[in-house]
Structure formats: C-alpha cells, structure tokens
C-alpha cells in the first residue's frame, strides 16, 4: 500500500516537472503574443468612466476565463481527432483580427476630423455626467474585448499545444491549463494596474513630500500611456493577425528584426481585403 502510494506520488511529481518545463518553453514562445494581448486589452478600457474601469476589466477577465474553458478542451479534442483543422481555424481568427484592425483605420479616414472631435467631446461629456447611463457602451467594450481575447488566447493555446506535442495527454492538458491560468492572471492583473495608474499618482501627489513628485509624473504618464496603448493595440491586431497568416503560408521567415514589419504589412493587406469583401457582401445583400 505504502509502495503504491509512493509510486503514485513519484508519477505526479514527474508529471508536474514535465508540465513546468513545457510551460516555461511555451511562455517564451508566446511572449510576443502576450505583449500584444496586454496592449489590446488595456486599449479596450479607454473611454470608460474611472470608477467603472476595474469592473469592466473584471468582466473581461471572467469572459477570458470562459474563453479558455472552451479553448483548452477544444484544442485537446481537435489535436486528437482532427489535427489538420488547427491551422485553418487559427487562420480564420487571424483574418478576423486583421479585419477589425483595418476597420478601425478605415473609420478614421472615412470620417472627418470635425466628426471625430464632436464624437469624442460627446463621449467625454457623457462619461463626466453621472446621470448618463453608459451600460450599453460598457457592454460593447466588454464584448469587443472578449472577442479579441478569444483570438489571442486561441493562438497562445495552439502555440502551447505545439510545444507540448510530443508529451503524453496528461502532460499536454496540464501544460495548457497552467499556461492559460498564468496568462489570464498576468494579463488582467497588469491591465488593472495600468488603468489605475492615475489613481496611484493622485494618491501620491496629495501626500506631499518626496512622493508628490512621483505622483505628478504618474499623472502625466497615465494619459500618455493610454494613448500609446490605443495605437499599439491597433498595430498589435495587424502584427498578430499577419503573423498567423505568414506562419500558416509556405513563406520563408525573415530576420527577427524585420519579421514584425512583414507581419504588420501582411495584416494590413489581409484586413483591407477582408473589409472589401465584407463591404461588398453587405452592399449585395442590401440590393
């Protein structure tokens, strides 16, 4: 009895060691996508009333957990039953990201600066007015963030699955669960810290003394960071989506320094094509 228990514990320890080692390898391979995930999700909170930022981040985090609860068993099932389907599904998600990114760019070019300023002014006024109900606005933000999270999570899980391809089913499942959990905690914990950076700066500024200067710097840094994340979030859509497409196609890989630019260019091209096709289909349907 004691011998069997020791053998079981030894097997469990071996599995945990394998899971830890493979999770470390997968984390290195997915670090680029993780950075894009941070930029995209932090950007999704822009425009939300200050006291609603953390509830919105929490709502998206819960949606992300649900995404992974769907993706992890689905990835294991697809890899076992139809491994050929993994790449086409990932490509479809990449095209969707490129489409969303190009749609944002097209919106900026198709609408005049006056229209954008009027829309921004109306949004700022609504956010500042406690009598205005922004539930619908929040729901749209949350739904968009969860959709984006689904695509990025799918890519990270597929990359992780590839890193653990030679392992047993138990180790593969453990590695996917470990990476999915760590990714969710890291991304949304970091996003929550970013969106509350201005509150931390304000708290330090009112204390006075040496910390007041730090608080002032944080107050200056917070809006600059959010504006930067807005740009980086759109760029990330093209880089991640284009990277998925280029990795799926039989094209030679470039130097690591040039690859992000190639990914972005492929993403912009794919997004333009997808938007043209969708717009054409909508016009044909209206006719």
pLDDT for residue 73 is more than 70:
yes
Q: Is residue 23 part of a domain?
A: yes
* Cβ–Cβ under 8 Å, residues 28 and 150: no
Residue 97 confidence (pLDDT) above 60: yes
Does 18 reside within a domain? Answer: yes
For residue 229, give both structure tokens.
Answer: 């994340």
239 lies in a domain? no
Lowest mean pLDDT among 12-26, 224-238, 249-263, 273-287: 12-26
In tens, the pLDDT along 170-217 reads 888 888 888 888 888 888 888 787 777 777 777 777 777 777 777 778
Q: For residue 157, what pLDDT band results from cuts at 50, 70 and 90? A: confident
Domain containing residue 176: 13-234
Overall domain count for the chain: 1
Predicted confidence at residue 66, as pLDDT, reads 93
Return the pLDDT at 128.
56
**pLDDT at residue 115 above 80?**
no
Is residue 270 domain-resident? no
What are the structure tokens assigned to 23, written together?
Answer: 């999770």
111 pLDDT band (50/70/90 cuts)?
Answer: low
pLDDT of residue 3: 62
Looking at the domain assignment, is residue 154 inside a domain?
yes
Look over the chain and give the mean of its residue pLDDT values, rounded to a whole number.
76
Q: Quick check: is 167 in a domain?
A: yes
The pLDDT > 90 percentage for the chain reads: 6
What HEC string does the chain produce?
CHHHHHHHHHHHHHHHHHHHHHHHHHHHHCHHHHHHHHHHHHHHCCCCCHHHHHHHHHHHHHHHHHHHHHHHHHHHHHHHHCHHHHHHHHHHHHHHHHHHHHHHHHHHHHCCHHHHHHHHHHHHHHHHCCCCCCHHHHHHHHHHHHHHHHHHHHHHHHHHHHHCCCCCHHHHHHHHHHHHHHHHHHHHHHHHHHHCHHHHHHHHHHHCCHHHHHHHHHHHHHHHHHHHHHHHHHHHHHHHHHHHHHHHCCCCCCCCCCHHHHHHHHHHHHHHHHHHHHHHHHHHHHC
What phi and psi, each to the nearest 5 degrees, are found at residue 269? -60, -45
Task: Please give the average per-residue pLDDT across 133-137, as a whole number.
Answer: 61
The pTM (predicted TM-score) of the whole model is: 0.68
Instruction: Tell me the per-residue pLDDT of 215-254, one tens digit each, with 9 for 90 and over.
Output: 778 777 777 776 776 677 778 778 888 888 888 887 777 7
Does residue 268 form part of some domain?
no
Mean pLDDT of 245-265: 82
- Statement: residue 256 has pLDDT above 80: no
Sign of CA dihedral 277, 141, 113, 132: positive
Q: Is residue 285 part of a domain?
A: no
């Amino acid at each position: 009895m004691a011998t069997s228990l020791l053998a079981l514990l030894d097997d469990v320890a071996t599995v945990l060691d394998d899971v830890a080692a493979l999770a470390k390898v997968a984390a290195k391979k997915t670090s680029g996508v993780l950075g894009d995930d941070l930029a995209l999700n932090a950007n999704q909170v822009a425009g939300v009333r200050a006291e609603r930022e953390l509830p919105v981040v929490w709502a998206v985090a819960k949606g992300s957990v649900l995404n992974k609860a769907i993706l992890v068993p689905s990835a294991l099932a697809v890899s076992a039953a139809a491994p050929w389907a993994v790449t086409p599904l990932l490509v479809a998600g990449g095209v969707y990201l490129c489409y969303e990114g190009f749609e944002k760019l097209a919106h900026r070019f198709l609408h005049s600066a006056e229209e954008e300023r009027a829309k921004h002014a109306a949004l700022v006024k609504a956010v500042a007015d406690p009598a205005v109900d922004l539930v619908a606005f929040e729901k749209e933000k949350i739904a968009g963030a969860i959709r984006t999270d689904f695509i990025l999570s799918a890519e990270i899980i597929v990359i992780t699955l590839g890193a653990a391809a030679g392992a047993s089913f138990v180790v593969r499942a453990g590695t996917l669960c470990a990476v999915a959990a760590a990714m969710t905690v890291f991304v949304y914990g970091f996003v929550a810290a970013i969106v509350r950076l201005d509150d931390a700066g304000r708290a330090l500024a009112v204390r006075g003394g040496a910390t007041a200067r730090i608080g002032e710097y944080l107050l200056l840094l917070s809006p600059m960071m959010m504006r930067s994340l807005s740009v980086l979030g759109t760029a990330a859509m093209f880089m991640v989506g284009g990277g998925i497409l280029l990795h799926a196609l039989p094209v030679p890989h470039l130097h690591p320094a040039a690859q992000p630019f190639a990914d972005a260019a492929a993403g912009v091209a794919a997004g333009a094509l997808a938007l043209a096709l969708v717009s054409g289909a909508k016009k044909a349907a209206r006719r």
